[in-house]
Amino acid sequence: MAVIDYHFLEKNFYYFRIEDHPNKIYSVTLSKFNERAVLKDFIDNYGSKIKALNTQVPATYFCTAYGWFLAAIQYGISYYDTVFQVTLENIELQMYYIQEYDSYGICFRIVDPTEKTINNDDRKTFLEQLYKNNAVPLVELFATTTGVRLKDLYGQLSIGLYHGYDLMVAQAQTDELKTIVHSDFNMLTKELDPASFNSRKNPLNISYRMIESPRDEGKMLRMKPTCCLYYQTEGAPSKCYGCPRLSDRDRAVRRKEIQASLT
């Protein structure tokens, strides 16, 4: 079994960690969120740090980050045939503060990073159990606690997963590895039993709309499938460029504004 490049994982999947974040100011095991008081404390605490104007913003931000963490798990499967114990009891959420930028963030540390080899026959079962027993109950907790629609939270979760997929394809050095990445991702987004998501269809099976990059001429970007609610934070000047709530006319204006700022 090849040795996982954890430096690459933490650098490129952003929210994944094996060791404590050096600027950690808060931590909680994800299983503790089953206690509503603990979940509410996190939502209030994190919300105040990111200057959220309501409790829905920390819910969408959390799901975006958790999606990137799940993308890192997908990377381990496709690149190394390796999985971790990904129960909520073994994942610690950490909040950190970067003084240089006066900004706060969150990440997820695997408490016991013991690796286990996974073969092709076990991949689907592992993914179904990961989502049915861990990711789905967690997303549903945030939905019921904050009132954000499940569809919107899964949209945020998918952002990291699909960007992680793009990264894995771009980094693959062989056609064989690209085929494995695609096959595993197709299994996750199209082949898993929708019952694993307590749904009639897989909420991660998303057809992204592509939009022009405001920074790289000729490059197309995935438009966010749902709104992250950034515009509902204190001092936010507008919705994100890739926000689905932004009209095409307003997006064209934002593109010109961004391009003008680069010159």
For the four alpha carbons of 116, 120, 86 and 57, in that order, the dihedral sign comes to: positive
What's the pLDDT tens digit per position in 199-244? 999 999 999 999 999 999 889 999 999 999 999 999 998 899 999 9
Q: How confident is the model at residue 263 (pLDDT cuts 50, 70, 90)?
A: confident
Domain boundaries, the chain: 6-205, 207-263
pLDDT (tens digit per residue) in 73-106: 999 999 999 999 999 999 999 999 999 999 999 9
SS3 244: coil
- What is the token pair recorded at 29? 């095991």
User: Please, which residues bridge with residue 52 across strands?
Assistant: 233
**How far is 201 from 10, CA to CA, in rounded Å?**
32
* Residue 3: pLDDT band with limits 50, 70, 90: confident
Collapsing DSSP to helix, strand or coil, 26 comes out as strand
Q: Mention every residue, 6+ apart, whose C-beta is less than 8 A from residue 202.
A: 189, 190, 192, 194
Cα distances (Å, whole numbers) of residue 158 to 19, 53, 182: 25, 24, 15
The sign of the dihedral angle between the CA atoms of 65, 71, 73, 76 is: negative
pLDDT of residue 108: 98
Residue 110 belongs to what H/E stretch?
Answer: strand 103-110
Choose which CATH entry (1.25.60, 1.10.510, 3.10.350, 2.120.10) describes domain 6-205.
1.10.510
pLDDT, tens only, 146-199: 999 999 999 999 999 999 999 999 999 999 999 999 999 999 999 999 999 999
Residue 142 has pLDDT above 60, yes or no: yes
pLDDT at 1 over 60: no
pLDDT of residue 260: 92
Strand pairing category for 116-117 and 82-83: antiparallel
- Cα distances (angstroms) measured from residue 35 to each of 40, 41, 108: 9, 10, 19
Residue 119: Cβ-neighbour burial (10 angstroms; 0-12, 13-18, 19+): exposed
User: What pLDDT is stored for residue 220 in this prediction?
Assistant: 93
